[in-house]
Structure 1
Amino acid sequence: MASIEIFGQDGHVLIDQNYKNLILLEKFKGSFDGGGGVVRGGTYTVSRSAYPGTTPVLAISSTFLTALRRFTRNGNDYTWVIACEAAGRLSSADFYIFNVPNAIPSADGILQIFNSGGELVFDSSLDYCKVQGMLSASTGQSNTLAVPVGGEYAYVVTIPPYIYSVTNFLIMNFTGVVMQSGSVRSASFDYSVQGYPAQPPFLSGRINWAAKFLIIDVANI
């Protein structure tokens, strides 16, 4: 048994010496542009290195629809290419990167909890990932998750449902996520790139018919 355990109102252990949670590593703004031949929508690329043996999590908060277009990993280097609807072109969104580091950094919080090996497992001054709920999404449909009015929320990036076709354009219809007052909504948007010299028969298809987006509370971080 841990030397200290913190329980919630439901009687479940919230924090003990085995506690692990995603920690905010970075918050920043990014502006979507129309480079790379994009003719409808916009693109923003995030590239970061991670702690060895860990996987970072990217979350986005925006007032326009966004979705993951491409994700790549090379060793400990991660790259997310994010697409947005036409209304977001030349506009900015808030980005958050979370991770569970191999060693929890001390932030000199009022409350710190250590395990039996003397390792820090919790610091009250760190910004932890706080889950608000789950938003379901599917191709061609709009879904909504109600959230408290006045809060600040973001969604964790995952592979979205989308439809694509390739001619002399790459045309993609993503199901993305947007933050609204009192709700987080998923809906479809068009994104297209010119300069694809495809020849008949042209390609088309549907990827990932449905998905679930983790919605997190990012107020005061």
Structure 2
Amino acid sequence: MKDTIQLTSLEPSKNLSPFIESFWMIENPSDEDEELSTFPDGGIDLYFFHSAEYPLHISLVGLETSAKVGTMPSHSILLGARLKILAAEYLLDMPVADILNDRITLDNGFAGINPDDLQCFNTFCEKLSLYFSSQLTAPIDPRKKIMSELIYRSKGAVTVTKIAKSANWSSRQINRYFNKWLGLALKSYCDILRFRNSFDSLKMGELFPKEGFNDQSHYIKLIKKYSHLTPKQLAQDENDRFVQLYSQD
């Protein structure tokens, strides 16, 4: 990771863990803008951005299916929450299907977050956690809970048929749920998770993960699909610009 970019993350409380993967913060305290590349990772991201030009800009980013290149401006800070699939229904109460590979700007004041809250990561996490906890007014549908747990526990290496059988929910209904709330089919989402969870192997220089793929050719094809690079190119990361390779636990 570039020395100028600072990355911090924090796990959510137990009651929010079915809906939130992590809270995170990226800072660029240097005098130079930094280029960062991001890849599909299966997360719905809530962004809170602060810079000299923008004291507070809030946006919601839907699921992404392709790699993107962006810029982290000098002396800027980006805080956020990476949301899981059930968050759209239970925390946001809105589908994110229409912002697949896109984003929307949210009103300042969302969740009661103000520019001062962005100066302390712990304060930001606590305030956002309290807000989201207050949104949990309905119990989770048991079928959706089982579905979500299987997807994340397997890191995407699970079939639609197995999920349907375990959750007692038809494959057709599951895919209807995914397309309505998230904007893509369950299999596509699981492929993105498998891609994302291969980063640990790549960080260690392993060009084929021990789990999640039946053969190397399939793995290489999936890596190229979501990063436009080969596993070797991704692992080398010569410019230290692939921020997600350094944001895994």
Greater share of helix:
2
TM-score (norm: length of structure 2):
0.23
Q: Given the two structures, how large is their TM-score scaled by the length of structure 1?
A: 0.25
